Chain A
Amino acid sequence: MIQFANVVVYNYQYLLDPKVAGIISKEMEKECVVVFDEAHNIDNVCIEALSVNIRQQTLDGATRNLSQVTQLIEKSKATDANRLRQEYSRLVEGLAQRGNLAGTDTWLANPALPQDILQEAVPGNIRRAEHFVAFLKRLVQYIKNRMITEKVESESPVSFVTALQNQAGIDQKSLKFCYDRLHSLLLTLEVTNTDEFMYIQTVCDFATLVGTYTRGFTIIIEPYDERMPNIPDPVLQLSCLDSSLAIKPVFEKFQSVVITSGTLSPIDLYPRLLNFHPVISNSYKMTLTRDCLCPMVLTRGSDQLPVSTKFDMRSDPGVVRNYGRLLLEMVTAVPDGIVCFFVSYSYMDGIVNSWNEMGILQEVMQHKLVFIETQDVVETTLALDNYRRACDCGRGAVFFSVARGKVAEGIDFDRHYGRLVIMYGVPFQYTLSRILRARLEYLRETFQIKENDFLTFDAVRQAAQCVGRVIRSKADYGMMIFADKRYNRHDKRSKLPGWILSHLREAHLNLSTDMSVHIAREFLRRMAQPYDKTGKGLNATLLSQADLEKMEKK
């Protein structure tokens, strides 16, 4: 189908994840123009695409899968031994010559594999099916043993492979071939429901990645989540640290690749993260018919005490109450929909409970209905649907959501669905996370990006992403409140995208709750006036051909 289509729209993963890209995107031609839209999170997607996590249930499942495979092999031997023998001889010839997997663009089909292994013959110790199964059993057993640990362990792929060689007799070269060897085996055994063999596939993915890359990855074994130390949940994570690895094949294969988003800011950081040299890098201004954006930075509550979600302040009841008063003042002043973003689910949960106990939530409900995003997608969808209906019918509603959540990424709160967005706090990542720390270290060593710069960049882009939900067109209008004293600092604020910064006036910085309510009322009154859509020249809502040409000349 893809060959006949003019435009193909799909998820990033279909192009970036080697496991899927090989199946779906191999027919794309060199001349195709690849556009990554909403690419502000592209580095994270790249990292996810090349990362694998193994949990206890993965290993249990893998063991089950292996015994199933053994049974299949036995059956196959009894009925059609010839097939296995044929596979063996194919594997001797090398992967590239295999009839069942090869395509012309093999390297795209498998960007995780360097070119040379494709021509190499599969190592002798895993060519025979039963040998390969035994090999995998040893691997699974080894990982199982490694996961029984009391403390967090972190090591590089090189040392992991060395340890594997010494303790389980598994060599690096065989590891490299695991993914394709399994694939070939499953094909040979005519397994159709590959979903059932998901667990062993995960283990093989892991093995291939560990065997292939010596740099840009880290292996972290955690016995529990640091945020919940009392729940044992051991996990082995092979985390990619270098987002340029996954996107590299895309840059190499396609002539033109466009990376675009409303919140690519600061724009010069992305080429460094993805390790490429942009031919054109430009940040465009927005032409607006009228000042339909009103960003504000709120640093103090109505009692003039600072508000923040900084770790030492976030549980302070004064801050919680001030945040609540802010919402309460706003629901009385702003019509239709209001969206509130919190830094995390756990923080939102805490806030909702405290507001409920303080009676703030009940007061808010006298003005607008309240809907809350949960981690259950179905419930969130229904809440969103109800939220929209509440806005449609004029009752008005407030939606509580979470930065980095699904709603913040994909749902628009344009027009009356969102007249105001309140961003409570700066959505920093959980900085004590091992993987984040490993990544920060890698960024510092490899790309000379400072830890704090990256963290701030990441938090501010998330915040900008959240508040950007409020406006979708020039005919729309909306307010944005950054409710944290830290936004007043230049290093945070300057990382906001240009289209927000250009509307962030000096007078709208360092506000307290009452001042922001005043500004909000003023803004809403101004926006309620009729305006001339045709505007003057470049301010027109709908630009004409001539206008565009004029812009180009400039």
Chain B
Amino acid sequence: MEMAAVTVRAKFLANPKDVGVPGVLMINVQGLKWTPNDPTAGTVLDVKSSFITSHQCSKEVPNKKAFMKVTTDVEGRSYMFEFQNYAERAPARDALSNVIAMNKAGAGGSAPTPASASTAALVKPASSGDQLDPAEMGRRMKLLQQDPDLLKLHQQLVGGNILSEVDFWATRKNLLEDEQSGVQKQRTGLRSAMLADVRPLTDGRTNKVTFNLTPEIIHQIFAEKPAVHRAFLEKVPSKMTESAFWTKYCRAEYLYRTNNRAAALAEAAEDEDLADFTRDDDIIAKSVKHKIQRVDPTLDMAADLNDDYLSLPGHGVLRDGAKESVEMIEGGNRTRTIIHDINRHAAVVLEGTPLDTELKDTTTVAHALERARLKDATNEVADRGADKRRTERIISMTEMEDLQGPPSSSFVPLTIQDPRKYFDSQQAAGFEEGSATGLTSMSADSATLLSVFKSQLNNFQAGRHRDPAIAPDLAFKILTDVTQHIASSRHTTGTAAERNILDSLPRATRDELMQHSNTANELLRHFWAAYPLTNKVLAEKATRLKDAMAQLYSRIQSMKESAPADVRHQLSRLLQPLFQTLDAAFSHYEGEAAKKAEAVKRARIAQRPNLNIPLDEMAS
């Protein structure tokens, strides 16, 4: 049974209260092996896989250590390991559970331990070649979590010992790669929801209101209200506790929310900390000045504000039906309104730099945000391309799409990774061609080249004719079959043919069907990939797969039979191709097996006079 070896850093604890000795834990099919970093600090631990009976892991609680306890059946001895974090423990835990599962399977099955040891020996070179790092493992786990279908398949095939972990993932390399590159390329933005707009909860009986703040909400509050952020950095924990800070904040929010402006101001007058929350945000005002210089010039209304001098006092009509009072802006201190909040929120979301650290507690959030802000500020200063972008922007905005002529034909520029290699090989080919036809490529004129090309083309076509991929008459037959099939299904189902037949099935049946077909496809892929059976491992694998397929076949059969009468016909039609492919696989297997038996028989006959036939031939 193949299994990747797992190597992680882990401390060994002689007893649970111990500090632990740092070292490296390696788990593979043979068992687990722990080596201390410092050879003098402790002895090397080596536990055979057959002795391991169970393992226990501590719960995943943030800020708690990651422990794992391994129990053996040798005098009931157990070992405690401490890992750096939960992410590192996960692969070790998985590997160990695999080992235990293998033990059980080995004990239950007819094959004793040596058999599994031999398979392990066979697989070893492969698995040691791509030793699994925790990151790889984490990616796999993540993929499985995201895709329930894949998880089911994984459980069925790998869990059911039909396929090995390595085989299973070998066909899904691209998925893993996507996942990996995805980690680097795309950052997720902030959510659009207004979290900072915390609404108080009332319990309806007493006058108490409750605010719920999570680190995520607090992050948004800090981002949208720099004054609160600044106050937090200044005052917590030196001047007040964190909970006192947030109580004050919620108080201010509550007063604002209940439109109790007067009360809010009165309290702010008494308490200068509270004043920080109600006061106009001077940091925003400062950043506005900065940002306004970088806006899209085509919509910079602030720039031509004084262009129509009607905004100067005294000019024009001050109040008429079309104009609204300007008291709101002339009042001096801008009052905070929901409109400002919404604009501010949307701006923050758009700038959206989610923190790279995990949102755990408010202090880290506050500091991480501060760092991010400083970084942005320095980036802005260094941003010299801004002017160029502005001009580009103007050009793109003033261009009218429909006044442009037809676009020049689009093409993809050819990128050659190693131009020298490419051109050298071209030239060499040209010389060869030239020498073959008795001409140098330099002096070859277009007419001769064309004739050469034509003759090549003729040869090429002739070649194709002689050896077509599919026999034409067979191809035609299949095409006719398919067409007739489609036509007949059209005929029988009428207009409903536009609809997917799958949609007409009951949900449970459909899900089951999909799952079976997924499993069958996976099995078939591996089955066909196993051929030709050049060695024993592959042969075993093929047998295993065949058995699994046979089981699946019977399962599908029973499903078909147990299906309600009204859908049975549809179902059988749907399943037909599946059965056909499975049948093909079986017949192939049997054919191969028969051939092999034949070969063995012949070999036996041949064996009698001569015993020198190599073992390999037997296997094939």
Which residues of A are at the interface with B, using a C-beta cutoff of 8 A? 11, 13, 20, 44, 47-49, 51-55, 57-58, 198-199, 201-202, 205, 222, 225, 227-228, 231, 233, 235, 237, 239, 289, 344-346, 349, 352-353, 356, 361-362, 365-372, 374-386, 388-390, 393, 395, 397, 404, 406-407, 410-412, 415, 429-433, 435-436, 439, 458, 472-476, 533-534, 541-542
Residues of A within 8 A of B325 (CB): 225, 227-228
Q: Is the CB of A431 within 8 A of B342?
A: no
20 further A-B contacts with Cβ under 8 Å, apart from A362-B193, A378-B302, A542-B404, are A53-B313, A53-B319, A198-B312, A222-B319, A227-B325, A228-B325, A231-B327, A239-B320, A289-B402, A352-B339, A353-B338, A365-B193, A368-B192, A369-B350, A372-B342, A376-B329, A431-B321, A435-B321, A476-B401, A542-B405
Shortest 6 CB-CB distances between A and B: which pairs? A429-B321, A202-B314, A436-B321, A433-B321, A48-B316, A53-B318
Residues of A within 8 A of B346 (CB): 369-371, 383, 386, 390, 397
B185 to chain A, nearest CB (A): 15
Residues of A within 8 A of B457 (CB): none
Residue of A nearest to B296 (CB): A385
Known contacts being A202-B314, A542-B403, is A381 close to B328, with CB within 8 Å?
no
Residues of B within 8 A of A49 (CB): 316
Could you mark each residue 334-377 of chain B with 1 if its beta carbon is under 8 Å from any beta carbon of chain A, else 0?
A: 10011110110011011000000000000000000000000000
Residue of A nearest to B189 (CB): A395
Which residues of B are at the interface with A, using a C-beta cutoff of 8 A? 189, 192-194, 288, 291-292, 295-296, 298-302, 305, 307-310, 312-329, 334, 337-340, 342-343, 346-347, 349-350, 400-406
Known contacts being A429-B321, A429-B322, is A473 close to B194, with CB within 8 Å?
no
Between A372, A472, A476, the greatest number of chain B beta carbons within 10 A of the residue's beta carbon is seen for A372
A245 to chain B, nearest CB (A): 14
Residue of A nearest to B347 (CB): A386
B213 to chain A, nearest CB (A): 18
A424 to chain B, nearest CB (A): 16
A51's contact among B192, B316, B327, B404, by CB below 8 Å, is which? Answer: B316
In the bound assembly, the distance between CA atoms of A370 and B338 in angstroms comes to 12
B334 to chain A, nearest CB (A): 7
A533 to chain B, nearest CB (A): 7
In the bound assembly, the distance between CA atoms of A56 and B262 in angstroms comes to 29
In the bound assembly, the distance between CA atoms of A371 and B299 in angstroms comes to 15
In the bound assembly, the distance between CA atoms of A365 and B349 in angstroms comes to 11
Residues of A within 8 A of B288 (CB): 378-379, 382
Residues of B within 8 A of A54 (CB): 314
Residue of A nearest to B341 (CB): A356
Known contacts being A54-B314, A346-B324, A382-B291, is A374 close to B305, with CB within 8 Å?
no
Residue of B nearest to A396 (CB): B192
In the bound assembly, the distance between CA atoms of A346 and B400 in angstroms comes to 36
Known contacts being A362-B194, A429-B321, is A349 close to B337, with CB within 8 Å?
yes
Q: Is the CB of B318 within 8 A of A410?
A: no
Q: Is the CB of B402 within 8 A of A370?
A: no
Residue of B nearest to A238 (CB): B317
User: Can you list 9 A-B contacts (CB < 8 A)?
Assistant: A11-B308, A53-B317, A237-B318, A239-B320, A366-B193, A368-B192, A374-B339, A388-B299, A432-B321
Q: Is the CB of B291 within 8 A of A435?
A: no
In the bound assembly, the distance between CA atoms of A285 and B401 in angstroms comes to 20
In the bound assembly, the distance between CA atoms of A379 and B340 in angstroms comes to 9
A541 to chain B, nearest CB (A): 5
Residues of A within 8 A of B334 (CB): 376
In the bound assembly, the distance between CA atoms of A123 and B400 in angstroms comes to 58
B317's contact among A47, A58, A415, by CB below 8 Å, is which? Answer: A47
In the bound assembly, the distance between CA atoms of A23 and B347 in angstroms comes to 43
Q: Is the CB of A344 within 8 A of B343?
A: no
In the bound assembly, the distance between CA atoms of A439 and B329 in angstroms comes to 28
Residue of A nearest to B328 (CB): A375
Residues of A within 8 A of B347 (CB): 382-383, 386
Residues of B within 8 A of A228 (CB): 325, 327
Known contacts being A369-B192, A476-B401, is A381 close to B322, with CB within 8 Å?
no
Residues of A within 8 A of B313 (CB): 53, 55, 57-58, 198, 202
Residues of A within 8 A of B302 (CB): 377-378, 381
Residues of B within 8 A of A202 (CB): 313-315
In the bound assembly, the distance between CA atoms of A458 and B308 in angstroms comes to 22
In the bound assembly, the distance between CA atoms of A160 and B327 in angstroms comes to 29
In the bound assembly, the distance between CA atoms of A380 and B318 in angstroms comes to 22
Known contacts being A20-B309, A349-B337, A375-B326, is A53 close to B314, with CB within 8 Å?
yes
Residues of B within 8 A of A404 (CB): 322-323
Residue of B nearest to A474 (CB): B402
Q: Is the CB of B317 within 8 A of A51?
A: yes
B107 to chain A, nearest CB (A): 55
In the bound assembly, the distance between CA atoms of A390 and B310 in angstroms comes to 33
B378 to chain A, nearest CB (A): 21
Residues of B within 8 A of A370 (CB): 342, 346
Q: Is the CB of A433 within 8 A of B301?
A: no
Residues of B within 8 A of A435 (CB): 317, 319-321
Q: Is the CB of A382 within 8 A of B339?
A: no
B299's contact among A53, A385, A429, by CB below 8 Å, is which? Answer: A385
